[in-house]
Amino acid sequence: PHHVLVRPLVIDAFALGGAILAVSSMTLTDGLTSPYLILSFMPTMVASAWSGLRSGLATAGLTAGLLLAPSLHRLLHTFHWDA
């Protein structure tokens, strides 16, 4: 129902769950070349459309931080660190 999704905490929880789900599905499938990479933009768009700029920017920052983890993982594993 629409009256449930108007509450800020519900929108933030929905955006947080969507961002984590999108990035984890992208990481588990194929990494940065996954087709789920486009899905990672949906929680940000939904949060900013339903809740406003604050929630949209917070979700975008979270998604960018979560996308940084597999990127750094792939980058570090391309170099062979011989100690």
Using one digit for the tens of pLDDT, what is the confidence trace for 46-81?
778 877 888 888 888 888 888 888 788 778 877 766
Residue 27: what pLDDT? 77
Whether this prediction's pTM lies above 0.95 is answered by: no
CA atoms within a 13 Å half-sphere pointing along the CA-CB vector of 79: 7
Q: What share of the chain is helix, strand, coil (3-state, %, to 5)?
A: 85, 0, 15
Q: How far apart are CA 25 and CA 18, in angstroms?
A: 10
pLDDT at 17 over 80: yes
Burial of 72 (0-12, 13-18, 19+ CB in 10 A): exposed
